[in-house]
């Protein structure tokens, strides 16, 4: 085949190039040979992993490996089988979640396959056959009619009023008028290839014939499938942070455990087996083995909250990713706009009018827009037809125009259908008095060529040059507002001519007015854009629609300043920039028009290379590669194809941009709560490590492994999960996105974990020191037993007291409310009882090697817990004043 694009060649040249015949098509033998050589017309699937492979892949994460090692040590060395069982259960649950979530790309490809039409009407050996579409080959002549799904990529040979809905491929909101004319440009985007029909697009009007020029993976849809298969999964900020956290913690904990063991042996604090057991217990206790489960539970609770607000999460980490989003790249049609063409302006009687003002039912303009119209109204009131025509009928209904009654009085008796060359449509109606009303609508420039008069306030006068200029000025002004403008004209005739055609009907018309339509922005979208900007998020529009339309809507929404041309770029202009140039210039642009699938992926990649977290919305097949490449892909639940939903991390049940902003708020809350849980867990674990380390260094009696493991079990998980359902803190949407570079220790959490963990350890050691120095009982053994019991109780209770501190990382406990979270209150109570039962209930004392404490000793323990709250709150108060200053 020639290197020249098929759309730049004549139909005859393309047919000759693929060795076919317009009149007879391929022979059956040749078609079979090509099918055997090139394979079936279907999309290829990437190599798929077995269920076992997917399951095993979940155990490659460093943190998971550490937890498995901890489980083995806890069971085989420490003989804490319950602890080992909990760790293993956590790991297995996480693996199951991972397998369940790991089918995005496969679902997307499966959905693409389902979109394909099962059969095609094809010409072979001069005979029209209906064959399975997967048997189509290059060179086949395919017949198309309204209602068909295009079975392969075709160069059109014939086109009779053919319109094809290509929004899933191009993002353009209205069906595209097709013709067979050669396109002289060699670089033309998909949306502008008007002599082509693409696989999986829908015929909405007319009929046509085309020659197959690409099948399977060579089609435009095939290219998208290839991009989906080859797109790399991006790690979410949460996954990166957890992995980094796991590695850092493990190294630190193993070093500390080794030091404790070495110092203990040097000081002869215990026998070698006992000291080894203590070091292992310390390592097991210090590793936050419940962290993956806690994060999973917090994310799952977040998904439930989001679902109630129309954001359906398909992949758990997406909940948190939303909270770190820097860029929201949104499709226009249906997300920022209503996906419904609507009359916005009318021009008649020499003046421009807002649509709300309406048009009198007796005005010819209202009659024409309803008469020259093929919209069908169903019994339930739903309108079927071309979006621009349904908009005209909807306008009439909104202003009490009874179309059914009018057509009953003036029935349609003849018509001249629309065709893409003359860009007009006319209908003829019987007025019942021997005369007929001709209603014509179409492109204003074409209509003016056939117009000699104009109606002005019911008076019909000659269309002078001044009047024509006023009309053209109004048309230009409406077009600059990105309105789709139609002209309306009419005349009265005494008889129906024979034949009825453009020459006999569409001449000497009376101009009635102009109608400007647009797919308007959603009422709440502008507010949502403003909220996103206030939250430090940059909203952008990426659409397949025309530049003027995209720029106008973006200006009205506040994405760009009205008239800011520099912030708008087309796909063709983007092609002229190298990846390096575009990465440098990407900050300039907020609106992208007439883009192709690869452009969307380039936009996502350019921002990611600048370290930004990108959320991408989309509803079409063409959006799927970018949805998969983005940090969070957001599909549309109503208008979205199954392909785009399959490639997404989250689906909007209401297709509404404002729902994304709501989800961002929920995502920020989720991250904040995970951060609180981590601060709580790590400061508690650090307190345990420091207590054991200092006891060993000072030569004191050391807490037994059972003490550390029980404290770790009952005071870690339950309160940490409860912190995960803390309400949203005030002002969370006034903060800047935390971005990819931040982690769980950002925002002062890292230093807080260290000093608060040290404080827990020091307070525990202080209580132990008081217990030894001022004993209640006599006898060396009793003194040491009491002191160890006090240290055990303090280390456990001080963590529960500290849980109140971390309800807010920076704000006062009294500002956020100490007891507002009922789940948290119950969690603290349950953990306290589980800890207290080991000291207060007879029989447990010997099991846990503890003694009963008197009132003075309990007062010391509780005083240390209260002191923890007081000190942390005072430090936070100082931090707030310093920050304010």
Catalytic annotation, residues: 331
Contact 543, 568 (CB under 8 A): no
Query: How far apart are the C-alpha atoms of 858 and 856, rounded to whole Å?
Result: 5
Contacts for 79 with CB less than 8 Å, ≥ 6 apart = none
Contact 543, 171 (CB under 8 A): yes
Record the tokens describing residue 525, joined without a space.
């979208």
H/E run at residue 771? helix 749-773
- First and final C-alpha spacing in the chain: 73
Would you call 224 helix, strand, or coil by DSSP?
helix
Would you call 850 helix, strand, or coil by DSSP?
coil
Q: Please, what is the Cα angle at 122 between 119 and 123, to 5 degrees?
A: 165
Contacts for 829 with CB less than 8 Å, ≥ 6 apart = none
Contacts for 187 with CB less than 8 Å, ≥ 6 apart = 572, 575
Contact 789, 850 (CB under 8 A): yes
Would you call 213 helix, strand, or coil by DSSP?
strand
Contacts for 446 with CB less than 8 Å, ≥ 6 apart = 422, 423, 424
Residue pointed to by tokens 């076992």:
52
DSSP 32-91: HHHHHHH--SS--------HHHHHHHGGGSHHHHHHHHHHHIIIIIS--HHHHHHHHHHH
Query: How far apart are the C-alpha atoms of 345 and 476, rounded to whole Å?
Result: 13
Contact 142, 18 (CB under 8 A): no
Q: How long is the chain?
A: 885
Contacts for 32 with CB less than 8 Å, ≥ 6 apart = none
Contacts for 383 with CB less than 8 Å, ≥ 6 apart = 375, 376, 377, 390, 393, 394
Query: How far apart are the C-alpha atoms of 525 and 547, rounded to whole Å?
Result: 20
Record the tokens describing residue 546, joined without a space.
């025309």
Query: How far apart are the C-alpha atoms of 253 and 249, rounded to whole Å?
Result: 6
DSSP state of 373: -
User: How do strand 650-652 and strand 632-636 relate by DSSP bridges?
Assistant: parallel
Query: How far apart are the C-alpha atoms of 616 and 623, rounded to whole Å?
Result: 9
Of the candidates 426, 394, 872, the one whose C-alpha atom is nearest the C-alpha of residue 680 is 872
Query: How far apart are the C-alpha atoms of 802 and 866, rounded to whole Å?
Result: 9
Of the candidates 621, 624, 603, the one whose C-alpha atom is nearest the C-alpha of residue 612 is 603
- Count the alpha carbons within 13 Å of 371 in the hemisphere toward its beta carbon: 36
DSSP 781-795: HHHHHHHHHHHHHHH
Query: How far apart are the C-alpha atoms of 129 and 820, rounded to whole Å?
Result: 71
C-alpha radius of gyration, the chain, whole number = 36
């Amino acid at each position: 085949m020639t290197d020249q694009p098929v759309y730049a060649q004549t139909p005859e040249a393309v047919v000759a190039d693929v060795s076919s015949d317009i009149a007879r098509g391929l022979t059956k033998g040749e078609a079979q040979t090509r099918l055997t050589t090139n394979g079936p017309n279907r999309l290829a699937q990437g190599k798929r992993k077995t269920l076992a492979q997917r399951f095993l892949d979940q155990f490659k994460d460093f943190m998971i490996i550490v937890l498995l090692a901890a489980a083995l040590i806890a069971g085989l060395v420490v003989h804490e089988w319950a602890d080992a069982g909990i760790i293993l259960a956590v790991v297995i649950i996480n693996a199951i979640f991972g397998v369940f979530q790991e089918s995005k790309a496969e679902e997307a490809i499966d959905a693409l396959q389902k979109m394909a039409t099962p059969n095609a009407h094809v010409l072979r050996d001069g005979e029209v056959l209906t064959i399975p579409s997967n048997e189509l080959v290059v060179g086949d002549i395919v017949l198309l009619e309204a209602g068909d799904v295009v079975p392969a990529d075709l160069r059109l040979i014939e086109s009779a009023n053919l319109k094809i809905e290509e929004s899933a491929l191009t993002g353009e909101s209205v069906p595209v008028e097709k013709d067979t004319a050669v396109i002289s440009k060699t670089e033309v985007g998909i949306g502008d290839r008007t002599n082509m029909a693409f696989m999986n697009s829908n015929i909405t009007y007319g009929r046509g014939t085309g020659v197959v020029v690409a099948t399977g993976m060579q089609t435009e849809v095939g290219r998208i499938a290839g991009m989906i298969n080859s797109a790399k999964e991006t790690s979410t900020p949460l996954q990166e942070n957890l992995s980094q956290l796991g590695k850092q913690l493990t190294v630190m904990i193993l070093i500390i455990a080794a030091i404790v063991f070495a110092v203990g042996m040097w000081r002869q604090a215990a026998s070698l087996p006992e000291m080894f057991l203590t070091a292992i217990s310390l390592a097991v206790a210090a590793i936050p083995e419940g962290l993956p489960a806690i994060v999973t539970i917090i994310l799952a609770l977040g998904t439930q909250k989001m679902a109630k607000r129309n954001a359906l999460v398909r992949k758990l980490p997406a909940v948190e990713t939303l909270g770190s989003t820097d860029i929201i790249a949104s499709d226009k049609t249906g997300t920022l706009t209503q996906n419904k063409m609507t009359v916005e302006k009318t021009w008649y009687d020499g003046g421009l009018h807002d649509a709300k003002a309406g048009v009198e039912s007796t005005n010819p303009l209202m009659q024409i827009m309803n008469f020259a119209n093929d919209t069908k109204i169903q019994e339930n009131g739903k309108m079927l037809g071309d979006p621009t025509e349904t908009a005209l009928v909807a306008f009439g209904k909104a202003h009490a125009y009874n179309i059914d009654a009018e057509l009953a009085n003036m029935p349609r008796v003849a018509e001249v259908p629309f065709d893409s060359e003359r860009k007009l449509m006319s209908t003829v109606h019987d007025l019942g008095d021997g005369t007929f009303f001709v209603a014509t609508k179409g492109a204003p420039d074409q209509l003016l060529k056939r117009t000699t008069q104009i109606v002005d306030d019911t008076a019909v006068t000659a269309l002078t040059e001044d009047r024509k200029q006023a009309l053209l000025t109004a048309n230009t002004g409406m077009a600059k507002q990105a309105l789709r403008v139609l002209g309306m004209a009419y005349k009265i005739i005494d008889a129906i001519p024979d034949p009825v055609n453009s020459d006999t009907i569409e001449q000497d018309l009376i101009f009635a007015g102009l109608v400007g339509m647009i797919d308007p922005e959603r009422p709440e979208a502008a507010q949502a854009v403003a909220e996103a900007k206030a939250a430090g998020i940059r909203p952008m529009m990426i659409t397949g629609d025309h530049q003027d339309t995209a720029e106008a809507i973006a200006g009205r929404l506040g994405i760009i300043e009205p008239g800011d041309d520099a912030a708008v770029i087309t796909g063709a202009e983007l092609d002229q920039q190298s990846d390096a140039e575009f990465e440098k210039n990407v900050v300039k642009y907020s609106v992208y028009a007439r883009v192709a699938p690869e452009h969307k992926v380039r936009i996502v990649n350019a921002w990611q290379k600048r370290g930004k977290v990108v959320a991408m919305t989309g509803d079409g097949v063409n959006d799927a590669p970018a949805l998969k490449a983005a940090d969070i892909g957001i599909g549309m639940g109503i208008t979205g194809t199954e392909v785009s939903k399959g490639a997404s991390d989250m689906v909007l049940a209401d297709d509404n941009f404002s729902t994304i902003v709501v989800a961002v708020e929920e995502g920020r809350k989720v991250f904040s709560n995970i951060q609180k849980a981590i601060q709580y867990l790590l400061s508690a674990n650090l307190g345990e490590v420091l207590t054991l380390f200092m006891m060993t260094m000072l030569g004191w009696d050391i807490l037994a492994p059972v003490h550390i493991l029980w404290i770790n079990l009952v005071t870690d998980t339950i309160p940490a999960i409860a912190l995960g359902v803390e309400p949203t803190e005030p002002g969370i949407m006034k903060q800047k996105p935390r971005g990819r570079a931040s982690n769980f220790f950002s925002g002062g959490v890292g230093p807080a974990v260290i000093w608060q963990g040290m404080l827990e350890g020091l307070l525990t050691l202080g209580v132990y020191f008081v217990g030894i120095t001022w004993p209640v009982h006599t006898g060396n053994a009793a003194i040491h037993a009491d002191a160890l019991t006090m240290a055990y109780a303090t280390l456990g209770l001080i963590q529960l007291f500290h849980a109140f501190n971390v309800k807010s990382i920076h704000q006062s406990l009294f500002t956020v409310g100490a007891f507002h979270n009922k789940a948290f209150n119950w969690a603290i109570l349950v953990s306290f009882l589980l800890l207290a039962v080991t000291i207060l209930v007879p029989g447990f004392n010997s099991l846990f090697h503890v003694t009963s404490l008197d009132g003075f000793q309990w007062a010391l323990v509780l005083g240390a817990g209260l002191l923890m709250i007081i000190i942390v709150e005072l430090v936070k108060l100082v931090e707030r004043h310093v920050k304010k200053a």
